[in-house]
Amino acid sequence: MTHHDDLTEEEKVALIRGIELAMKALSLVLSPNGFNIGINIGETAGQTVEHIHVHVIPRYRGDCRHPRGGVRKAVLDIEDENLAGDKERWLRNRLGEKEIRALRRALNEM
């Protein structure tokens, strides 16, 4: 399925429950101050993977210059032509093995 309209009502409820579980596990392990949740529907909206999936992004005070307005403003901090220079920032902020194991444990205990 590539579009949320393809989901049954039961699947939509399960998707929301999955988002809640992800947020709970991320909160336990990473202690974010908030979340951005996003679904890209269609190529024009940035969908590059041809299946339904949800981005659950933990956010922290001061992690970007423009947090008001959620993802649509936060992404203004990184322009496409600057992505190559942001590899170090990406590597610094990605989860390590210890955090990944902790998230797996938290999800398995739910």
Residue 53 known to be catalytic:
yes
53: closest CA among 24, 13, 9, 19? 19
Question: In the numeric block, which tokens belong to residue 42?
Answer: 């269609």
Say how far apart CA 73 and CA 35 lie, in whole Å.
Answer: 14
Choice among 3, 4, 53, 66 that is catalytic: 53
Report CA-CA distances (Å) from 50 to 2, 18, 28, 40, 63: 5, 19, 31, 10, 29
* Bridge partner list, 38: 55
Active site residues: 53
